[in-house]
Structure 1
Amino acid sequence: MTKSSFPVAHFSMTHSAIALGVAAAAMWSAAAEAANDKHYGVVCLRNDTRANITYMRKVGDGDWETRFLSPGDAWKIAHRYDRSNENSSPKVHVKYDADATGRKFTQFKDLERRAAVGDSCQEANVYAFQYEASNRSFISLERVR
């Protein structure tokens, strides 16, 4: 009677290599996925006019605060999520005088945040104060990106 020989070491090393490869792929996949996790809700407001803009903002149920934006300036607000990919942030409300002639015409706008990996304007929903195309006496606030 002949004994069967089984290359145990070869079998174990092959399975170990496969197991290590699978584990490494899983870790790489998890790391890549974690790198894309959204940790912030971000919105950016910028002034594309040549006028100094005075506006009021309110975050969530907070109080209205008066703010200023010089021509070319931007303001960013980021809300850090309690957990990755939560995608829930307090609302951002803005009110401003849209009449550039000195009369009063108050406009309201709710700014929608964008879920993002980081907290920069490059990753945010961007809104801009701009002159209306048909009448430069009025300023609008529109999402531009």
Structure 2
Amino acid sequence: MTKSSFHAAHIRAALFVVASGLGAAALWPAAAGAADEKHYGVVCVRNNTKANITYMRKVGDGAWQTRFIEPGAEWRMAHRYDRANENSSPKVHVRYDADATGRKFTQFKDLERRAAVGDSCQEGYVYAFQYEARNRNFISLERVR
């Protein structure tokens, strides 16, 4: 190989690498944007008490359903959007007995979902049943994250 053909081959290879890199760089923002698209509305509920909690939940205008959550347990509700970044999910309504003494004191709470890329509790809003700080005879349901 002559010196000029060797030099031309290196220039062609360098131009190929630069052109390939520019093509990849042009695709990178689109790929990064797609990775950030929100596909779910997510809400999770934990039981941070030592009590078994029976509660009722309703999604949107649906029917009330009785549910049970053990101490330390967690449940997740994820709504898949029809299109990316829709950020619109049916509300989750919760009704529970806040009196831990055996009497009845019904509380209502509307839970907000968080728009998320995935459908895990790590990505959604988290609410917790927990004892009230000033009176452990009452249980509250508050967003903790």
Q: In the TM superposition, what are the counterparts of 1:1-145 in structure 2 within 5 Å? A: 20-145=20-145
- Give the deviation of 1:16 after TM superposition: 7.5
Provide the C-alpha distance between the structure 1 equivalents of 2:21 and 2:82, rounded to a whole number of angstroms. Answer: 33
- Once the two structures are aligned, what percentage of the paired residues are identical? 76
Counterpart residue identity of residue 29, structure 1: P
Alignment gaps of 5+ in structure 1: 1-11
d(CA) in 2 for partners of 1:143, 1:46: 10
Deviation at 1:61, TM superposition (A): 0.7
When normalised by structure 2's length, the TM-score is 0.86
How much does 1:17 deviate? 6.6
User: Partners in 2 of 1:113 and 1:72 — Cα distance?
Assistant: 21
SS in 1 for 2:32: helix
Q: TM-score, normalised to structure 1's length?
A: 0.86
Instruction: Please report how far the alpha carbon of residue 23 of structure 1 lies from its aligned counterpart in structure 2 after TM superposition.
Output: 3.0
Partner AA of 2:103 in structure 1: R
Residue 19 of structure 1, CA deviation: 5.7
Q: Kindly provide the amino acid, as one letter, of the partner of residue 59 in structure 2.
A: V
Structure 1 residue 26, shift from structure 2 partner: 2.2
Please tell me the residue identity of whatever aligns with 2:32. Answer: A
Q: How many residues align?
A: 137
For residue 18 of structure 1, report the CA deviation from its aligned partner. Answer: 6.1
